[in-house]
Structures are given as C-alpha cells and as structure tokens.
Amino acid sequence: MPVAAIIGIGSDIGRELASRYAADGWTVWGTFRNRAGLDGVPSSIRLTPCDLTSPHSMAAAVDAFRHEGLAWDVLVIAAGTEEPVGPFWECDEDAWDQGIHVNALAPLRLVRHLYPMRNRSGAPGVAFFSGSGTNNAAPAYSAYCTSKILLIKMCELLDAESTD
C-alpha cells in the first residue's frame, strides 16, 4: 500500500489531500499544529503533532514517522502562513523571519530528515505549495512570497542533486 506523508493536515489543502489519499487506499501519516483543524480528517489517518516554529517538535514528528516504520511515496508540505501581512518596511523583523522560517526553512528541514525514509523502490515525490506572489509581486506579503520563491529554487536544486 503506498504511503502519503502530509505535513500540515490541519490546513484546508492538507486535510483535503489526506482525505483523498485515504479514500484511494493509501496509508496516510500526517502532522498538525493544533487539533482545531482536524475536523473531518478520516480516523484511519495516523496523526502526530508538529509545530514548525519548534525544532524539538519537528524532531519529535520525524521520530514518530520513523517509529511507524513507514516508507513514504509522496511527501506533501501543506503547512504555512501568510504572516506577517503589511509593507516590508513596516513588518516586525522577527515576525518576518518567522514567516520565512515556517514557510521555507522548517519544511526544508523536515524534507532533509524525512528523505532517507522514502520508498526506494519507486520514484518518490515531494510537493510544496506555493501560491500567489511567485511570478508577480504581491504587496504586503513579502515574507510569504520570498519563502515560496526560495522553495521553488530549492525544488530545482534538489531535483538536480537527487537521482530519484
């Protein structure tokens, strides 16, 4: 049975993908930041908490996946934030840094640690979501746009560096 690992099942996108994969017979493992977003998540989905602002929480989530003994076929990063919202010059610097961290740096850390647990018999897929603002400037969303562009470039780089 194929395995989908979804970071951010509590988001609308993550919850919908988890439900679709589960309905198609996949084993689904995923993370959530808080239980508020878990309404409607099928009970067959294996869940573990993961706060992308906490290296300890992220490490615990990776350990939880390892403990499950699964090998993922698809790794989806559906977690993120649009915060802070406002002109770059007016955004709190720490909030701006946190936006970059949650949208790009923390997900890349998770990919780095989960990648060795991929299904090596097929061609694993990693998907990041990057919405508006990657082709054109989206005023007031500088941290979001910057982090999503970073992910696009990292996908290109990881594809070039990875044989599978």
Distance, in Å, from the CA atom of 95 to the CA atom of 75, rounded to the nearest integer, reads 27
pLDDT in tens, 48-96: 999 999 999 999 999 999 999 999 999 999 998 999 999 999 999 999 9
* Sheet strands (E) in 17-137: 27-32, 46-49, 74-77, 125-128
Q: What is the mean pLDDT of residues 89-107?
A: 97
Q: Is 30 helix (H, G, I), strand (E, B) or coil?
A: strand
- Top mean-pLDDT range of 115-119, 131-135, 158-162: 115-119
pLDDT in tens, 12-22: 899 999 999 99
- pTM of the predicted protein model: 0.91
Strand order of the β-sheet with 3-7 is: 46-49, 27-32, 3-7, 74-77, 125-128
Q: Is 27 helix (H, G, I), strand (E, B) or coil?
A: strand
